Amino acid sequence: MAAEDPSVSGVSGRYATALFELAREEKSVDAVRADLDKFEAMLNESADLKRLVRSPVFSADAQAKALTALLDKVGITGTSAKFLKVLTANRRLFAVADVIRAFRALVAKFKGEATADVTVAEQLSDKNLDALKTALKSVTGKDVALNVKVDPSIIGGLVVKLGSRMVDSSLRTKLNSMKHAMKEAG
C-alpha cells in the first residue's frame, strides 16, 4: 500500500505503514489517529516540545523520560504511546511530524477519504474547519481529511492543495501579483 502512495515513502513512510498495519489489526485506527492529532497539536503549540523532538542534543533516554511524562499527563496510551516511544528509542522522534502526515494519508486512503494540505495564517476555529471540510466534500464527493499548517507569512487567506489541484488565495500571493503587475505597467 505504501509503495503506491508517493506521500508515504522513506523512513517516515515505513514507520507510518507499520503503525497503520498494527492499528488496523487491533481495530484502533481512529483511536491512534486521534492520539497522533493530539500529539501534533501539542507539538505545534509548544516550542519546548519542538526542541525536545528535533534537537540531537537530548539523549534517547532524556527524550524517552520527557515523552513518557508528557504522554501520561495528556492521556495518550496504548499503541500510540508505544509507537512514539519506539520512535524515540530508535532516535527517529525528529521525523514524528512526517510520520503523522504519512499515517493520515494511509488512513484516508483506507477510509476512502481525500486528504487536503491547508496552509493558513493563523489557527482556524472548529467552525471554520468544518466549513472548509464541507466545501471540499462538495467539490470531491468524498470526506476530506485536513493537514493544517499555520504559516503567518501568508498574511491572510489560505492555500489548499488537494491531490494535484492547488488553490492559493493567500494575501501574500495577491500582493506579489499586484507588485508584478505594477512593475510591468511602469
pLDDT surpasses 60 at 3:
no
Q: Where is the domain boundary, 71, 106, 141?
A: 106
Give the Cα-Cα-Cα angle 103, 107, 109 (nearest 5 degrees): 115
Percent of the chain's residues with pLDDT above 90:
53
Please give the residue that has the higher pLDDT: either 128 or 7. 128
Q: What CATH number does residue 40 fall under? A: 1.10.520.20
Mean pLDDT across the stretch 156-170? 87
Q: What is the pLDDT of residue 19?
A: 96
Q: What is the pLDDT of residue 7?
A: 55
Both 15 and 64 in one domain: the answer is yes
Structural domain boundaries enclosing 174: 114-185
Both 35 and 78 in one domain: the answer is yes
Q: What is the pLDDT of residue 114?
A: 84
Number of domains present in the structure of the chain: 2
pLDDT surpasses 80 at 21:
yes
pLDDT surpasses 50 at 2:
no
pLDDT surpasses 90 at 75:
yes
Residue whose C-alpha cell is 513518557: 68
**For all residues of the chain together, what is the average pLDDT?**
88
Residue 84's SS3 state is: helix
Q: What are phi and psi of 167, to 5 degrees?
A: -120, 120
pLDDT surpasses 70 at 88:
yes
- pLDDT tens across 25-44, in order? 999 999 999 999 999 989 98
Both 96 and 152 in one domain: the answer is no
